[in-house]
Structure 1
Amino acid sequence: MRKVALVTGGGRGIGREIALALGREGCAVAVAARTPDEVAATADELRRLGVEAAALDLDVSDADAIARVAGAVTTALGPVDILVNNAGLAESAPFAKTDGALWDRHLRINATGPYLLSRALLPAMLASGWGRVINIASVAGLHGAPYVTAYTASKHALVGLTRALAAEVAGKGVTVNAICPGFAATELTWRSARNIAAKTGKSFDDAVAALARLNPGGRLIEPAEVAGVAVKLLHDDATNGEAIVLDGTPS
C-alpha cells in the first residue's frame, strides 16, 4: 500500500538518506528544510528513481510554517503516514556562555518543532489506523555531555516526547520511536571538527578522528545506517517507544 512520508531536514546528510531509502521502499516522499536548493535536489533525485516527491521550504521553529507545510504535503501527496523529525541544531558553548537565546533556539528546533509536527499530523495517522513517527535524536539525548548543554537538554526532551507519545498511541496502529546516533559522517560533525581544528591547532582530519573515537565503536556513523533503521521501523512488527542507539558497535 502506498504511504506518504514527510522528512524534515531532508536536503542533506541523514535526512537525505532517509528520504531516498523511503522512496526506494515505495513511499511518496516530501522533503522539507530551510535550504530550498538542497531539498529540491533531493526531490529531483527521488523523481529520477520514479518516486512521487515534493520539496518544501520549512523552518521547524516557525509554528505557522509547520501548519502550512502539513497542509501542503496533504494537498501534493496525500495525508502523511510517516513523519521523520530529522531537522536539528547543534551548537556548542560552555554552560557559562549558554545564554537564553542559544537555549531557546535548541529547544524550538530540536524539541518544539517535532512536537508541533506530531500534533499536526498524528490525528490523520490515528484515524487511518496506521502511522509512524520517527524522531532523529542523539546519544546526547540519553546521557550528559560537556559544552553542549542546550543540545543535550533538547535531545533529552525529544526522547521524552517519543516515549510519552508512544505510550499514548500504543495499540492504535501507530508507533513512535527515536533513533539516537553518535557522531555521524555529516555536516554537523564536519562543522564541529573545523571548530576543534581552529581552536586547538589540530588538522581537520585529526579532529574528525578524535570525534570518531568518542563513539564506542571508534568510527563515525554513516547516514545510510540511520536510514536502514528508519526503514525497519516501517514494518508491521516494529517496536514502539524505543530509543535505538547507533554508536558504531555491532548490533
Structure 2
Amino acid sequence: MRTAVVTGGARGIGAAIVARLRAAGLAVASLDLIAPDAPRDGVLEVACDLADAAAVASAVDRVGTGLGTPVVVVHCAAFQKVAPFADLDPGDWDRTFRVNVDGAFHLVRATLPGMRAAGWGRIVVITSSSYFAPPPGMSHYVASKGALTGLVRGLSTELGGDGITVNAVAPGLTGTENARRDIPEEHFALVRGRQAVPRTGEPDDIAAAVAFLVSDDAGFITGQTLLVDGGESRL
C-alpha cells in the first residue's frame, strides 16, 4: 500500500482529497494546524505548521513510522486573506508565502529522499485559477500561486528521471464550507455564468483530478497545470 501526505487535509478541498485517496486504497496522513470536524477512520492526523521546516520534517518522520514512507505528496494548505495591495500588512504577505510557497519547499525537501529511493513518486500542488484571471485584493495570494506554478515546472524537469511526476491542480471558485460562509451567493452566480459547465464546483471535483494525477495512469503527465474550474478560464 502506498502512503500519501496531504497538507491542509482537515477541511474543505484537502479533506475531500484525503477521502478520495483513502477510497483509492492509499494510506493517508493529513498535516494541518486544525483538527477535522470528526475522527476519520484510517487517517493519520498530524498537527503541523507548514511554515516551520523542523515541524514539517518531524511530521514526515512520524508519517514514515506510522504508515510507511510517503511517495504521494499533495500540498493543499494555503493562507489566504483578501486585501488591496496598498493596504496589505507585511505580516500577511510574509505568512502567505511562508505557508503557500515555503510550505511546499519544506514538504518536498522532507519527502524527496523517500520517493527517490522508491524510484516512484507523485507530487501535486494545489494552485488557483486566480493565477490566470486575478481578482482584486489578492495580488499577494496570486503571486504565491504563481511561484508554486513555477516550482512545479522546475521540479518536473529535475525529478522526471527519478520516476517522480510533479503537477498542479488549479481550482476555480469551489463551494467549500468557508467559501459559502464568506462569499455572497451573488458572486457564486456570477462565476457560474462565466463557466462552460454552469454549476458551482465542489471539493470532490478537485479531489477527482488529484486522484488521477497521483495514479499509475498519469505516469506520463508532468509539469502541467490542470484547471478545474468548469471551463471558466478555457485556456
TM-score by length of 1: 0.85
Report 1:197-208 matches (<5 A). 204-208=184-188
Q: Give the match for residue 35 of structure 1.
A: 34
Q: Give the match for residue 236 of structure 1.
A: 216
Query: 1:190: how far off?
Result: 2.6
Q: Residue 186 of structure 1 is aligned with which of 173, 176, 179?
A: 176
Question: Is residue 81 of structure 2 the alignment partner of residue 96 of structure 1?
Answer: no
> Which letter does structure 2 place at the counterpart of 1:148?
M
Decide whether aligned partners of structure 1 residues 141 and 188 sit closer, same or farther in structure 2, where only a CA change above 3 A counts. farther
CA contact (8 A) 1:106 1:151 kept: yes
CA contact (8 A) 2:48 2:56 kept: yes
TM-score by length of 2: 0.91
C-alpha distance in 2 between matches for 1:172 and 1:123: 11
Q: Give the match for residue 206 of structure 2.
A: 226
Report 1:1-251 matches (<5 A). 2-38=1-37, 41=38, 44-45=39-40, 47=41, 52-193=42-183, 204-213=184-193, 217-238=197-218, 239-249=221-231
- The aligned length equals 231
Query: 1:123: how far off?
Result: 1.4
CA contact (8 A) 2:123 2:214 kept: no
CA contact (8 A) 1:183 1:215 kept: no
Moved over 4 A (4+): 211-218
My pick for the range that moved more, 95-104 or 109-118, is 95-104
Residue 162 of structure 2 aligns to a residue whose secondary structure is coil
Specify every segment of 5 or more residues in structure 1 that has no aligned partner in the other structure, as ranges.
194-203
Residue 90 of structure 1 aligns to a residue whose secondary structure is coil
Query: 1:187: how far off?
Result: 3.4
Residue 19 of structure 2 aligns to a residue whose secondary structure is helix
Query: 1:63: how far off?
Result: 1.7
> Residue by residue, what CA displacement relative to the aligned partner does 1:23-56 show, whole Å, maximum 9, x if unpaired?
1111001112111244xx3xx33x2xxxx42111
Structure scoring higher RCO (CA < 8 A, sep ≥ 6) equals 2
Q: Give the match for residue 198 of structure 1.
A: none
Residue 226 of structure 2 aligns to a residue whose secondary structure is strand
> Which letter does structure 1 place at the counterpart of 2:199?
R
CA RMSD of aligned residues (A): 1.9
> Residue by residue, what CA displacement relative to the aligned partner does 1:56-113 show, whole Å, maximum 9, x if unpaired?
1011112221111011101111100111100112111111102311111111111110
C-alpha distance in 1 between matches for 2:93 and 2:188: 26
Query: 1:235: how far off?
Result: 2.7
C-alpha distance in 2 between matches for 1:217 and 1:11: 28
Query: 1:208: how far off?
Result: 3.5
Specify every segment of 5 or more residues in structure 2 that has no aligned partner in the other structure, as ranges.
none
My pick for the range that moved more, 152-161 or 214-223, is 214-223
Residue 91 of structure 1 aligns to a residue whose secondary structure is coil
> Which letter does structure 2 place at the counterpart of 1:26?
G
> Residue by residue, what CA displacement relative to the aligned partner does 1:120-173 show, whole Å, maximum 9, x if unpaired?
101110111111111011012334332101100001011111111011111321
